[in-house]
Amino acid sequence: MADCNLAEALSPDYLVGLEGLSLVGLRAKREACAELETELSYLRRLAQARIDLILAESERRHLGLSDPGPEALVGLLPQILSEHTRGQGAGRLPTFFAPAQGEQLRLAAQVEELLPSDQLGSLPAFSATALDELLISLSALERDVSADRRALHDTQDRLQEELVRRYRSGEANVDALLR
C-alpha cells in the first residue's frame, strides 16, 4: 500500500510534475488515492447509516408510533439502512478491502465520537433536541467527507489521464506490464 494522507493527496502540489514522474511513481500515487477514497467512502457510509437511523427515529416520533424496542429495531435495520446505499453518479468500485487503518481510523473516530455505536439502539431515549443536534453534526461531517471524496476523484482522474496519455503517446507500453 502506498503511503499518503488525505491533505497531501488533495494538495495542488500532489499533481505537480506528473509528466516527469516514473510510471511506477504515477501508479503508486493513483493507488494511494484509491486507498484514501475507499477510506472516505467507508466513513461516509458510517455517517450516513447513523443519519438514516436518526431520521427513522424522528419519523417514528412524528408519526406517533410507539417505540419498537431493540428487537423490532434490528428487524427494521435492513429497510432503514438501504435507503441511501447508492448515490448519484456512476460511483467507483473499491480496488481492495482491508481493516481500518490510518486516515480511516481517525475519521471513523469522529463518527464514533458524535454517536457511539453502543448508543445506536438507545436513540428512542434521546431527546428531540439531542437527535436534531446529532443529525446536524453528522450531516455536516458527511458533507465534508463527500466534498473531500469529490476532490479526491478529481485528483484520481488527473492521475488516470496522465497514465492514458502515456499509453496513447507510446511513452508507456502494455507489453511492459506483462513482463
Q: What is the pLDDT of residue 74?
A: 63
Q: Tell me: the pLDDT tens digits for 143-168? A: 999 999 999 999 999 999 999 998 88
Number of domains forming the structure of the chain: 1
Q: How far apart are CA 166 and CA 171, in angstroms?
A: 5
CA distance 151 to 159: 13
How many CB atoms lie under 10 A from the CB of residue 2?
15
Any domain includes 160: yes
At residue 64, the pLDDT reads 84
Cα separation, 19 vs 15, whole angstroms: 9
d(CA 14, CA 29): 9
Instruction: Select the more confidently predicted residue: 50 or 3.
Output: 50
Inside any domain, residue 53 = yes
Query: 47: domain range?
Result: 23-80+101-178
Does a structural domain hold residue 10?
A: no
Q: What is the pLDDT of residues 16-26, one digit of tens each?
A: 999 999 999 99
User: Average pLDDT of 133-137?
Assistant: 96
pTM confidence score: 0.77
Grouping H, G, I as helix, E, B as strand and the rest as coil, residue 13 is helix
- Positive or negative CA dihedral for 81, 38, 152, 169? negative
Q: For residue 140, what are the CA distances in angstroms to 48, 61, 67, 110, 147?
A: 11, 23, 27, 12, 11
